């Protein structure tokens, strides 16, 4: 069931999805931002900061900001592009799904004077959720973009979490000026982490020994994955993030980043998806 809520209490519109067995998801029109995914078995998969600001154009801290048409600082635009700051329209819904669209005219930001359509479709099932990002070049010249589904996951405690699936994968370390390194073993968190893993496998798993759960991320179309935890000092420096919240979250972000930008010819379409599936371990 897809239900549009006209005012979430902050004056913003959101769409609530529910399955008959009790799974739910919430997607804001602002940024096509997924802010909640609760499974039928009762697990809250996504983290949203208690300090998050629900005031456009500011991006919401947590859930899944859509970074488009630029990931991070990989281009002339502001950090992570402008889609996460923009108002989307609801253009379709099904039993357990909703599609939101940004019809960009090319006037949104003078540093990116290209028309495009960006669609985000969220489909909910009892223990899984799929997010599909579709970009269409609606202009008359090629466009190039990088992007990410900047997914914030909950963690019972950050020292109880390990990320499997990146062993042997090369990454650039954003905390060392983009130094190229290779992952050895699982990714664990005992300090600030800000890395772009390049050319990753299609499945990455987050094991949370404190919660006795595993979230599998299956991605297509996104060659790369960003792994981020702000740790102590960066948490304190962010106004919309609690000082201690780095202990209960981590970001794994399917991305087009280190592998280089996608070039899309006029009239052509690009798709990227991630499916998040919860299981007990
Ligand atoms: O504060 P923002 O713009 O939402 O970015 C959060 C983080 O996003 C991550 O993707 C970047 O790798 C980090 O460097 C950045 O700090």
pTM over 0.95: yes
Q: Is 226 near ligand 1, meaning CB less than 6 Å away?
A: yes
Give residue-wise pLDDT tens across range 119-163.
999 999 999 999 999 999 999 999 999 999 999 999 999 999 999
What is the distance of C-alpha 36 from the center of its chain?
Answer: 12
What is the distance of C-alpha 278 from the center of its chain?
Answer: 17
**Percentage of the chain with pLDDT > 70?**
100
d(CA 257, CA 67): 11
Tokens, residue 43: 């697990």
Q: Which CATH architecture has domain 2-156+218-280?
A: Distorted Sandwich (2.70)
Q: Is 80 near ligand 1, meaning CB less than 6 Å away?
A: yes
| CA count, 13 A, side-chain hemisphere, 40 | 12
Q: How far is the CA of 72 from the centre of ligand 1 (A)?
A: 7
| Chain mean pLDDT for the chain | 97
Q: Is 250 near ligand 1, meaning CB less than 6 Å away?
A: no
Residue 253 designated active-site: yes
d(CA 115, CA 137): 7
Q: Which of 223, 214, 221, 222 is nearest to 186 (CA)?
A: 214
Query: For residue 148, which atom of ligand 1 is closest to its CA?
Result: 10
Q: What is the ipTM of this complex?
A: 0.99
Most ligand 1 atoms within 8 A of CB, residue of 62, 67, 72, 147 to mutate: 72
Q: How far is the CA of 137 from the centre of ligand 1 (A)?
A: 26
Q: How far is the CA of 241 from the centre of ligand 1 (A)?
A: 12
Band of pLDDT at residue 2, cut at 50, 70 and 90 = confident
Q: Is 194 near ligand 1, meaning CB less than 6 Å away?
A: yes
Q: Is 72 near ligand 1, meaning CB less than 6 Å away?
A: yes
**Percentage of the chain with pLDDT > 90?**
96
Residue 150 designated active-site: yes
d(CA 83, CA 78): 11
Tokens, residue 35: 């802010």
Q: Is the pLDDT of residue 1 over 80?
A: no
Contact call for residues 211 and 43 (beta carbons, < 8 A): yes
User: What residue's CA is closest to ligand 1, atom 9?
Assistant: 228
- Containing 237, the helix (H) or strand (E) segment is helix 231-237
Quote the pLDDT of residue 83: 98
Quote the pLDDT of residue 56: 97
φ/ψ region of 95 (left if φ > 0, alpha if ψ in -120 to 50, else beta) reads: alpha
Q: Is the pLDDT of residue 238 over 90?
A: yes
Most ligand 1 atoms within 8 A of CB, residue of 47, 70, 150, 176 to mutate: 150
d(CA 8, CA 17): 14
Q: How far is the CA of 69 from the centre of ligand 1 (A)?
A: 15
Q: Is 224 near ligand 1, meaning CB less than 6 Å away?
A: no
């Amino acid at each position: 069931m897809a239900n549009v809520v006209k005012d979430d209490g902050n004056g913003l519109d959101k769409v609530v999805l529910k399955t008959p067995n009790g799974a739910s998801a919430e997607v804001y029109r602002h940024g096509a931002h997924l802010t909640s995914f609760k499974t039928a078995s009762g697990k809250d998969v996504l983290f949203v900061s208690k300090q998050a600001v629900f005031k456009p154009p500011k991006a919401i801290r947590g859930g899944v900001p859509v970074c488009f048409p630029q990931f991070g600082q990989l281009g002339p635009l502001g950090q992570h592009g402008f889609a996460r700051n923009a108002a989307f329209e609801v253009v379709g819904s099904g039993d357990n799904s909703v599609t939101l669209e940004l019809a960009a005219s090319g006037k949104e930001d003078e540093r990116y004077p290209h028309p495009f359509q960006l669609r985000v479709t969220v489909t909910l099932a009892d223990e899984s959720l799929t997010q599909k990002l579709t970009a269409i070049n609606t202009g008359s010249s090629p466009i190039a973009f990088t992007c990410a589904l900047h997914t914030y996951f909950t963690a019972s405690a950050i020292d109880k979490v390990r990320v499997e699936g990146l062993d042997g994968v090369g990454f650039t370390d954003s905390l060392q000026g983009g130094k190229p390194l290779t992952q050895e073993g699982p990714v664990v968190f005992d300090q600030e982490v800000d890395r772009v893993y390049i050319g990753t496998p299609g499945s990455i798993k987050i094991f949370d020994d404190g919660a006795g759960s595993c979230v599998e991320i299956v991605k297509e179309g996104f060659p790369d994955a960003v792994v981020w935890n702000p740790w102590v000092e960066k948490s304190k420096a962010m106004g919309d993030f609690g000082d201690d919240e780095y202990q209960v979250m981590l970001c794994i972000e399917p991305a087009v980043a280190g592998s280089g930008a996608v070039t899309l010819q006029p009239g052509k379409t690009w798709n990227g998806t991630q499916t998040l599936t919860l299981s007990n371990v």
